Structure 1
Amino acid sequence: MYSEIQEWFSAEARDLPWRRDCSAWGILVSEIMLQQTPVVRVQPVWEEWLERWPAPADFAAAPAAEVLRAWGRLGYPRRALRLHAAAGEIVERHGGAVPDNYEELLSLPGVGTYTAAAVAAFAFGRRTTVVDTNIRRVHARLVIGQALPAPALTAAEMALAADLLPEDTAESVQWNAGVMELGALICTARSPKCGECPVLEQCAWIAAGQPEPTYIPKGQPWAGTDRQVRGAVMAVLRAASSPVHADLLWNAAEAQGHPEVAKELGKLHELNTHAPQLERALAGLVADGLAQLSDAGYQLPA
């Protein structure tokens, strides 16, 4: 199955900018942005980001407010602040160069086990066990014969991934990338394209008769949630160049002379959120360092 997946990847992999002649910094940025966010939304922001901040030092010197504005609507904006903190540590502790090994990568703010392994593999060609949702799903079907992996990553899954990883370093990098892409394009969660799979004849799930999942995955709700309200408030603050008075956030008044702010305020008010929910959203944004409150109102952090 190794050669089949590698040949398929060579022929069918998407042409993504972070797979070309890309810096380690560019790959780190892509991995952070791609967490819980699809490629189609990430790519234009990533391209603008790397043009504006081509190296960690450039990014570390940027004000936090500009970082959050550039992050735009990618969601989970705390990722942007953590990446900002990571860039600062890269400059202070690593001479401005992204560290090239798993342990040092893992020590950076906002970098977890998956991201450290992925950057080590894809930026520096290291032999590391990369396990994301796509890889877990391919392993579950191809090797174990289950429709879906366990709801949460298990030690058994990590052990299986380590066992499957080729001993040859270059082949291990190709394997990680190939299996991940196979899960993203072919072995998808809801509508797998089994007829196009390069390892169909070796798939334990197919051999078992494609048994149904043992649980129903729950997608993350959006409409009416605190996350939606937080996102709407963040959109107002990104559009504003000065503090937004609390009265504007609470009441359907227009921001005179600021059409973009008024537009985002209109979207916030259309949610018809109740007072406790908006209070939670505002308090949470301040507590997470995504907003600041002064006598003048709310604004992005300095």
Structure 2
Amino acid sequence: MTAVQYPVQSTASAASPAPAVSAGSDATLGELLNSWYRATARPLPWREEGTSAWAVLLSEVMSQQTPVSRVEPLWRRWLEKWPAPADLAVAPTDEVLREWANLGYPRRALRLRECAAAIVDRHDGRVPTDIADLLALPGIGGYTARAVAAFAFGTAVPVVDTNVRRVHRRLVRGEFLQGPARSGDLGDVADLMPWVDDDPDLLRRGYRNPVQDRSRRTEALGMCASLMELGAVVCTARSPKCTVCPVSSRCRWIALGRPEPSDADRAAARRRVQKFEGTDRQVRGRIMAVLRARGSAVDFPDAGPDPVQRARALASLVTDGLVEKTNDGSYRLPR
């Protein structure tokens, strides 16, 4: 199976004026978004025609909480080393962690290997097409399962990440901040689509799409990618580029005069931001960087000035299976 995506048909940037689509008011939301996407979307390698479902899955896991600029070279390297699930399933632990490099949250690397092994054991080495089967794989949550279903297999289901949630909050609810994830986010985004294929979560909740026009299924599928792209490059968290937004005329936040969030909402948003400087997570990252570079180490002078924190970080890495302690008291990546 190959990735299902709209091809990039232009070298225009996302900061270019939004392309016109059939005289404005008569165009549907999906037509506006998809026309803009086809003209301006970033030429990311996992969007290229012929991309395998495994490559799409890798890109989605790697891109979580990690800038695309860091993901792309490592995604290519992983596919060179492990072009199929069967290849990664038998890879040595230390090699997997070393190749994860600076992507952060290295447990994702080990979960990816578990996922690859499960694909081999349960699905004959092929990434499953069904959302329920994808959700049953180790390390695959709701977002990733739907992203793979949509972008690798052409399933028209809502794919909701932080970017999409932000677009919806501004476009439909007129709120600048995206707020925390909600159980209703999936249905909210599905309401924007003119067709939704069977989705286990939506079916369980008794969701009914208000349009459900199968003749517009291709339009709905395109919206999975275009909503995400819009949030990533135009409707950004801090400085939305409303003058080049293809759906600015439909945006409730703009119609309301671009209201500022309340002090309470700003405070809540700040509380949700995870600190990094000085945290155990930062120290863990420094320890992992030393072990990837040296192979093994007894001391970690650059990991942080606090020996108690350093010991705590090391112990947590050992518990998580990311580091092992040898008989001579040194630490190394697991073999």
TM-score by length of 2: 0.81
Distance apart, 1:5 and its partner CA: 0.6
1:298 aligns with 2:307: no
Measure, in 1, the Cα distance between the counterparts of 2:217 and 2:124: 27
The letter for the 1-side match of 2:252 is A
Is 1:284 the equivalent of 2:313? Answer: no
The answer to whether residue 235 in structure 2 is matched with residue 172 in structure 1 is no
Letter in 2 for 1:244: A
Retained in 2: the 8 A contact 1:83–1:110?
yes
**Corresponding position: 1:235 with 2:289:** yes
2:247 to 182, 199, 202: 199
* Whole-Å separation in 2 of the counterparts to 1:208 and 1:156: 23
1:190-229 equivalence runs, <5 A = 190-214=238-262, 215-216=265-266, 217-218=269-270, 219-229=273-283
Shift of 1:90: 0.6
Q: Find the aligned partners of 2:260 and 2:146 in 1 and give their Cα distance.
A: 31
SS state of the match for residue 137, structure 2?
Answer: coil
How far did residue 154 of structure 1 move? 1.2
Greater fraction helix: 1
Counterpart CA distance in 2 for 1:170 and 1:114 is: 20
* CA shift for structure 1 position 224: 1.1
- 1:266-281 aligned within 5 A: 267-268=302-303, 271-272=304-305, 274-281=306-313
SS at match of 1:223: coil
Which of 85, 89, 94 is matched with 1:60 structurally? 89
Distance in structure 2 (CA, Å) of the matches to 1:94 and 1:126: 19
Alpha-carbon shift at residue 165 of structure 1 (Å): 2.0
1:125 aligns with 2:117: no
Q: Is the 8 A contact 1:125 1:169 kept in 2?
A: no
C-alpha contact (below 8 Å) 1:166/1:175 kept by paired residues: no
Q: Residue 147 of structure 1 contacts residue 211 of structure 1 at CA under 8 Å; is this kept in 2?
A: yes
What CA distance in whole angstroms lies between the structure 1 residues aligned with 2:252 and 2:131?
32
Deviates more, 1:205-214 or 1:74-83: 205-214
Alpha-carbon displacement from aligned partner over 1:266-289 (angstroms, at most 9, x marks no partner): x33xx32x1221111001101111
Match of 1:244 among 272, 285, 297: 297
- 1:210-245: per-residue Cα shift (whole Å, max 9, x none)? 11124223332222111110001001111123x422
- Partner of residue 16, structure 2: none
Structure 1, 203-212 or 153-162: larger mean CA deviation: 153-162
Which residue, out of 53, 62, 68, partners 1:33? 62
* Residues in 1 aligned to 2:186 and 2:129: alpha-carbon distance in whole angstroms: 22
1:160 corresponds in structure 2 to 188
Displacement after TM superposition at 1:11 (Å): 0.3
Which range moved further: 78-87 or 142-151? 142-151
CA distance in 2, matches of 1:170, 1:70: 37
- Within 2, Cα distance between the matches of 1:238 and 1:92? 30
Give the 5 Å matches for 1:53-132: 53-132=82-161
Counterpart CA distance in 2 for 1:162 and 1:198 is: 19
TM-superposed deviation, 1:105? 0.5
Alignment-mate amino acid for residue 56 of structure 2: I
Q: Confirm or deny: 8 A CA contact 2:167 2:235 kept in the other structure.
A: yes
Identity %: 53
Deviation above 3 Å: which 4+ runs of structure 1?
Answer: none
Find the aligned partners of 1:149 and 1:68 in 2 and give their Cα distance: 33
Aligned partners of 1:156, 1:26: CA distance in 2, in Å?
30
Shift of 1:155: 2.5
> What amino acid is aligned across from residue 292 of structure 2 in structure 1?
R
Q: Which consecutive unaligned segments of at least 5 residues does structure 1 have?
A: 253-266
The answer as to 2:40 corresponding to 1:12 is yes
Alignment match, 1:257: none
The CA distance in 2 between the partners of 1:50 and 1:31, in whole Å, is 14
CA RMSD in angstroms, aligned pairs only: 1.2
Cα distance in structure 2, aligned partners of 1:165 and 1:290 = 42
